[in-house]
Amino acid sequence: MTDLKPFFEIENATGAGSAVIVCEHASNDLAATAAGLGLDPVQREAHIAWDPGALGLAQGLSALLDAPLIRATASRLIYDLNRPPDAAGAMPEKSEIHPIPGNRALSPDERLSRTEAHYLPFHSALFALLSRRLAVSKPTALITVHSFTPVYFGNPRAVELGIIHDEDDRLARAIAARPTGLMTRLNEPYSAADGVTHTLALHATPLGLAHAMLEIRNDLIATPAAQGQWPSASPP
């Protein structure tokens, strides 16, 4: 990587609310790669490149809760910020049924370069944000926001809202218990066993923070209007 700009942004950094919002898969921007990793335009807009609708929902929650929001500004296919550096899924050669040509046979130096450009700055900034709040005894819950595809490997998914947690399930259960009129499940369509709680396990669990990962089926937040309805319907 020759571009030294950070691949994340923090919005509402001084928010006074009792939560910090994280959106690791907010962007499908592939500009930092050669030839867009070899993906066609349809693939670049698909779920493999980002979590459609998640950013709009995360920004709505940030506004509702007056919470800081840290979000990625590059595609998850360059580096999936919710995966540790040694995970194959951090820079996947294949996502669902789609080969990712630009990730094929990456050298150790290439993997290190992406880790230093994307993963380390993002998680360092998140740790600093949380630490500053803890230093002044600010109550803080960590909430990560994602979306999932309605069909995965050809199988339809009926669940509409999934609430996932790492070791502490209190906040996740509290959110899941709220009436939303949606098919809501705890630890679906993923769970910690699938390796999807890396950000929570890295930051919330060691610091003893209440936490939850929101997974919303992306057909339900496909438009800005739909995204705007969610925060007030199911705030933590």
Q: Following DSSP, what letter does each residue of 85-103 receive, concatenated?
A: TT-GGGS-SEETTEE-GGG
d(CA 192, CA 142): 16
Collect contacts of 11-16 with beta carbons under 8 A, ≥24 apart: 11/59, 11/62, 11/68, 11/69, 11/70, 11/71, 12/62, 12/63, 12/66, 12/67, 12/68, 12/69, 13/68, 13/129, 14/68, 15/62, 15/65, 15/66, 15/67, 15/68, 16/66
Considering its fold, how many domains does the chain have in total? 1
Query: Does residue 60 have a pLDDT over 50?
Result: yes
Query: Does residue 3 have a pLDDT over 60?
Result: no
- pLDDT at residue 226, rounded to an integer: 85
What letter represents residue 165's amino acid?
H
Q: Is residue 3 part of a domain?
A: no
First to last CA, the chain: 38
Query: Does residue 229 have a pLDDT over 60?
Result: yes
Average pLDDT over residues 7-23: 97
Q: Is residue 191 part of a domain?
A: yes
pTM for the whole thing? 0.94
> 164 falls in which pLDDT band (50, 70, 90)?
very high
Residues present in the chain in total: 236
Q: Identify the CA nearest to 222 among candidates 48, 55, 74.
A: 55
Query: Does residue 183 have a pLDDT over 60?
Result: yes
Average pLDDT over residues 27-45: 94
- pLDDT at residue 232, rounded to an integer: 60
Q: Is residue 95 part of a domain?
A: yes
- pLDDT at residue 2, rounded to an integer: 42
> 1 falls in which pLDDT band (50, 70, 90)?
very low
Q: Is residue 1 part of a domain?
A: no
| Mean model confidence pLDDT for the chain | 93
Query: Does residue 235 have a pLDDT over 60?
Result: no
Indicate the DSSP class of residue 223. S
Q: Is residue 152 part of a domain?
A: yes
CA torsion, ordered 127, 133, 135, 137, to nearest 10 deg: -140
Q: Is residue 2 part of a domain?
A: no
- pLDDT at residue 234, rounded to an integer: 56
Instruction: Please name the residues in contact with 4: beta carbons below 8 A apart, sequence gap of 6 or more.
Output: 117
What is the DSSP pairing of strand 211-217 with strand 141-148? parallel
Q: What angle do CA 12, 185, 163 make, to 5 degrees?
A: 25
- pLDDT at residue 84, rounded to an integer: 98
Q: Is residue 87 part of a domain?
A: yes
> 155 falls in which pLDDT band (50, 70, 90)?
confident
Domain CATH for 177: 3.40.630.40
Its domain, for residue 203, covers: 8-233
Query: Does residue 152 have a pLDDT over 70?
Result: yes
Q: Is residue 166 part of a domain?
A: yes
- pLDDT at residue 34, rounded to an integer: 85
d(CA 52, CA 40): 17
Which residues are registered as beta bridge partners of 215? 146, 162
Indicate the DSSP class of residue 75. B
Q: How does pLDDT run across 108-143, given as a tens digit for each residue?
A: 999 999 999 999 999 999 999 999 999 999 999 999
